[in-house]
């Protein structure tokens, strides 16, 4: 309860998609804290948005549990190299896949390159996302709305479809939703709507893929200290981020990763169609 930083945080703002290197305090993605125990031995995982934040913590945890990982991300090459460094330090391979997942061809390409390198996909973690703060409905342009949907939900549909032929029975799909999926923050209207869609899509897809032995779940984090926050929220919200949770602070990415490890592992063989909250005490509906 006392290990991690509490608000107020220093004022800071960054352009989208944000650089983890430049955050104060630095997020904890498990670089020096996550201990693995072989729970994902020799699995192959494709994780989107894994240069930084929750995705990086998942990549590090998966590697320390024995998985090789491919990580897709937009263009934060330095953050991505840092993730790769930790994956390789765990004795596992890391394939870096930059590109804009709003494009169908990029979704197809990241799957094809992962399969070319590793031969199959055992775990698909759809975690990349975009959000921006808007105070009025009229401030959200049509392009902005569609962009948010393309990155956050349409890419997930495309990645699942592209990956499926390479996923054997026993494989797992994990989609990052949000506490916004049922308690939407009004200033993140388009984002919150996509997060509701991700939770719903995951629950439906789990039912479609059950007969193929593939499990699908979503994770609904509360406030987590990542570049997404400092690059899309006003400075006063960043300073007090996570203060209104029962635990009084934002979560660190490393505190979210264990749920992804469980959902990816064979221990979760009967867990499918569910949304897991990691919210610092706020109930999800
Ligand atoms: P993050 O910024 O570290 O990760 C998001 C990543 O998405 C970025 O690193 C970026 O490379 C990638 N991305 C963005 N646009 C892209 C595009 N067009 N093409 C390819 N990649 C793109 O932030 P995070 O908070 O770790 O976000 C990870 C997930 O967690 C997201 O789905 C986010 O919605 C979800 N989430 C975060 C919070 C939070 O408080 N941080 C809360 C709930 C849910
Ligand atoms: Mg990033």
pLDDT band at 107 (very low <50, low <70, confident <90, very high): very high
- Ligand 1 pocket, 255 CB below 6 A? no
Percentage above 90 pLDDT, the chain:
99
Q: Which of 73, 130, 191, 260 is catalytic?
A: 191
Q: State the pLDDT at residue 148.
A: 98
Q: What is the position in ligand 1's atom list of the atom closest to the CA of 76?
A: 11
The residue whose C-alpha atom lies closest to atom 8 belonging to ligand 1 is 49
Q: Cis before residue 8, ω within 30 degrees of 0? A: yes
Report pLDDT digits (tens) over 129-185. Answer: 999 999 999 999 999 999 999 999 999 999 999 999 999 999 999 999 999 999 999
DSSP assigned state of 164: G
The verdict on the CB of residue 76 being under 6 Å from ligand 1 is yes
Q: Which two tokens stand for residue 205?
A: 């897809």
In angstroms, how far is CA 42 from the centroid of its own chain?
Answer: 21
Mean pLDDT of the residues in the chain: 98
Residue given tokens 């494009």 in the structure block: 103
From the CA of 207, how far away is ligand 1's center (Å)? 26
Q: Would you say the CB of residue 174 lies under 6 angstroms from ligand 1?
A: no
What pTM does this model have? 0.98
pLDDT band at 1 (very low <50, low <70, confident <90, very high): confident
Domains, the chain, ordered by start: 30-278 (3.40.50.720)
Give the CA distances from residue 232 to residues 17, 65, 130, 224, 235, in Å, rounded to whole numbers and listed in that order. 8, 32, 9, 13, 9
Strand order in the sheet with 275-278: 94-98, 68-73, 44-48, 123-126, 172-176, 215-221, 275-278
* Helix runs in 40-103, H state only: 53-64, 77-89
Q: Has 191 been annotated as catalytic?
A: yes
36 Cβ closer than 6 Å to some ligand 1 atom: no
Q: What is the mean pLDDT of residues 87-105?
A: 98
Mark 148-171 as b/e (b = at least 16 C-beta within 10 Å). bbbbbbbbbebbbebbbebbeeeb
Q: Is the pLDDT of residue 2 over 90?
A: no
Q: Quick one: tokens of 167?
A: 């996923």
Q: How far is CA 222 from CA 25, 85, 130, 177, in A?
A: 18, 28, 16, 10
> Which residue's CA is the nearest one to ligand 1's atom 31?
129
């Amino acid at each position: 309860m006392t290990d991690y930083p509490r608000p107020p945080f220093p004022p800071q703002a960054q352009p989208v998609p944000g650089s983890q290197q430049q955050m104060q305090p630095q997020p904890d993605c498990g670089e020096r804290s996550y201990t693995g125990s072989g729970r994902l031995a020799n699995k192959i995982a494709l994780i989107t948005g894994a240069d930084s934040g929750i995705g990086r913590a998942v990549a590090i945890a998966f590697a320390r549990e024995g998985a090789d990982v491919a990580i897709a991300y937009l263009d934060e090459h330095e953050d991505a190299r840092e993730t790769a460094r930790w994956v390789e330090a765990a004795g596992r391979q890391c394939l870096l896949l930059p590109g804009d997942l709003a494009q169908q061809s990029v979704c197809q390409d990241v799957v094809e390159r992962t399969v070319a390198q590793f031969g199959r996909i055992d775990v698909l973690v759809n975690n990349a996302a975009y959000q921006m703060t808007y105070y009025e409905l009229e401030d959200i342009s049509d392009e902005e709305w569609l962009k948010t949907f393309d990155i956050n939900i349409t890419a997930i549909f495309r990645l699942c479809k592209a990956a499926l032929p390479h996923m054997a029975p026993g494989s797992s799909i994990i989609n990052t939703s949000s506490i916004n999926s049922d308690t939407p923050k009004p200033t993140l209207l388009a984002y919150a709507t996509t997060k509701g869609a991700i939770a719903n899509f995951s629950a439906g897809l789990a039912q479609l893929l059950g007969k193929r032995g593939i499990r699908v779940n979503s994770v609904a984090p509360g406030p987590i200290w990542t570049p997404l926050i400092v690059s899309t929220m006003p400075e006063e919200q960043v300073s007090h981020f996570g203060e209104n949770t029962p635990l009084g602070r934002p979560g660190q990415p490393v505190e979210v990763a264990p749920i992804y490890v469980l959902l990816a592992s064979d221990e979760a063989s009967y867990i499918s169609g569910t949304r897991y909250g990691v919210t610092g005490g706020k109930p999800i509906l």
